Structure 1
Amino acid sequence: MVQGGRRARRAGLVGALWATAELTVTVGVVVLLLVVHQVWWTNRQAAAAAQDRVQALERSWGRDPAPDPVGPPDALGPSDLPEPAATVAGPVPVPVPVPGSAGTAGPGRSARPAAGPPTRDRAYAVLRIPRLGLVVPVAQGIDKRAVLDKGYVGQYPGTAGPGERGNFALAGHRNTHGEPFRYINRLRAGDELVVDMRGRRYTYVVGKILSETTERDTGVIAPVPRSLVKPDQGYGEPGAYITLTTCTPEYSSKYRLVVWGTLKSS
């Protein structure tokens, strides 16, 4: 009887251990599939959709993008760029937007007529970074679902438009969902950042890089960009700037990486 009871308990223990092992393996496979979906599949989907959008924009412009004679920043008319949305819904993996609204003059910005309500998630331009081989659509707003998770680069609400005086500030994912800004840490002073719109091309030149700052450092996307966390980083005079922001280090949203550039004179 005693030996039979021991065998029964042993069998029960083995069964429990086996069931636990099966459950652990199953959970591990599910987690692995989720990671593959998030890191690999969403990248493929978003990157492919973003490239389709670039091609659609180019077709709608009726030509392949090419340099055009570009007037001074103030020459932009209301039909060239829809106004940024006033608010952003949902969390974003980038610094919070600066206060203010487009279409109003501010430090380092030129006033221009309002263009009417924008379509927040509609791409209106194409960003090209030759050093990285990057070609990505630019859309209004930095909402994750509506813009960033599509593999697009998003323009911060209230920041200047391409070619304008002020700061044309952009955000993009570093990892997953197309990860357009994954390698912007490789940019160096003198690299070109090209922004194509219908009938216009604006070329910026990378000037400064802030390798790490906090997510609340709104100074980096101000009209005259200067870090509030590291005041020695940034610019001190009005001009026509571009700012690229993304998360750092990779696969983390703890800090922000910032690249600044200035509009190249035509």
Structure 2
Amino acid sequence: MTALRPERDSGPAGDQGPPYGQPYGDPGAFGDGRHEEFAPGAVYRPQPADDETVALRVPGPPPERTAVGLAGDGPVGGGRAARRKAAKRRHGRRGAPGGAPVGSESDEEPKAPLSRVEARRQARARKPGAAVVASRMIGELFITTGVLMLLFVTYQLWWTNVRAHAQANQAASNLQDDWASGKRNPGTFEPGQGFALLHIPKLDVVVPIAEGISSKKVLDRGMVGHYAEGALKTAMPDARTGNFGLAGHRNTHGEPFRYINKLQPGDPIVVETQDEYFVYKMASILPVTSPSNVSVLEPVPKQSGFKGPGRYITLTTCTPEFTSKYRMIVWGKMVEERPRSKGKPDALVS
């Protein structure tokens, strides 16, 4: 028994419309179940009758259909793999989350591993050249040298003064304590032994005077040394005539004679011993002379301006500053000898 279906007059004689319940047009024309609209004047061919449409039935699997790609892609053959690939392309073009753009690296095939020769060549190319390595080593050497020089300068200009001042102050304190307790006896002193104090009021200098001019035992410890050995031996302050010669650092290690070039004629220089004060007045200065010019230490020092025997004092130090190329000499002449029992001289009171 065949189901009745209405005839369509839109086609030529003998043509029949689509089966009952099926819309006109080509289902699947768009590949997604949509139907094209009826175009005016289009011819629609009827479908042959199907006896199986008169009863209910379990729908079978949908027939495979051709997937239609995006504009410009054309139809893509059916199949799960083809549809999956088409979906990836669509997602990439639309910028969907997780989708890579068309033509991106995700669509490219993985690169083949490098050969051993090529890998070694690239590794060698990445290594710095000999010139780069040499320049780095030279730069590091310069930096290290600069740091060491900075540390050395800091030690010379700062730390040696700190340590020497501490040692000199301790020596002066011990000397005064010994004088007060009567432990020190006037007379001959051992090398490096302190026996007097030098006062230069204008320069605010108070420093111990020790026997000898040893750098290690005397000068580098911030003290002033007495020329007392060999051809450089000079008189003591209590001698009736003679020249009391002293040496001291101008820079570093306490630098007690740093500013003796600022002394002017008449400025007092005082030597304090256990029993007496010896007051000198600055007389003259020799700004530059050779280190071998020992004539400045003679009993009547040459170039000092003194004409005959007397009681003199000579201060010697290095010049220019921070060098030991030449020597600077300052002379003074004794103007007063005062027992300690009478109190300090005016030069130390005012």
TM-score if structure 2 supplies the norm length?
Answer: 0.57
Distance 2:196 2:226 in 1: 10
The code of the aligned residue for 1:163 comes to: D
Tell me, which stretches of 5 or more residues in structure 2 are unaligned?
1-117, 338-350
- What is aligned with 2:302? 226
Pair 1:162 & 2:233 matched: no
- What is aligned with 1:33? 151
CA deviation profile, 1:1-35 (whole Å, cap 9, x unmatched): 8x859845754432332232122111210121111
Matching residue within 147, 153, 161 for 2:224:
153
Matching residue within 186, 203, 207 for 1:80:
186
Pair 1:59 & 2:177 matched: yes
Aligned length: 211
CA deviation profile, 1:173-210 (whole Å, cap 9, x unmatched): 11111111111001110000111111211111101111
Q: 1:261 to 1:134 in 2, by over 3 A?
A: same
Higher relative contact order (CA 8 A, sep 6+): 1
Alignment check: 8 A CA contact 1:81 1:124 kept: no
CA deviation profile, 1:112-167 (whole Å, cap 9, x unmatched): xxxxxx31001100000000000000011111111111111001112110132100
SS of residue paired to 2:174: helix
* Distance apart, 1:39 and its partner CA: 1.7
Distance 1:259 1:204 in 2: 12
Pair 1:132 & 2:208 matched: no
- What is aligned with 1:109? none
Deviation above 2 Å: which 4+ runs of structure 1? 3-16
Pair 1:185 & 2:244 matched: no
Distance 2:307 2:123 in 1: 83
Alignment check: 8 A CA contact 1:226 1:236 kept: no
Q: RMSD over aligned Cα, in angstroms?
A: 2.1
Alignment check: 8 A CA contact 1:155 1:170 kept: yes
Distance 1:80 1:209 in 2: 31
Distance 2:253 2:187 in 1: 25
Tell me, which stretches of 5 or more residues in structure 1 are unaligned?
64-78, 83-117, 228-232
Pair 1:244 & 2:315 matched: yes
- What is aligned with 1:103? none
Fraction of identical pairs, as percent? 45
Pair 1:19 & 2:19 matched: no
- What is aligned with 1:194? 270
The code of the aligned residue for 1:262 comes to: K
Matching residue within 145, 154, 163 for 1:45:
163
- What is aligned with 1:173? 249
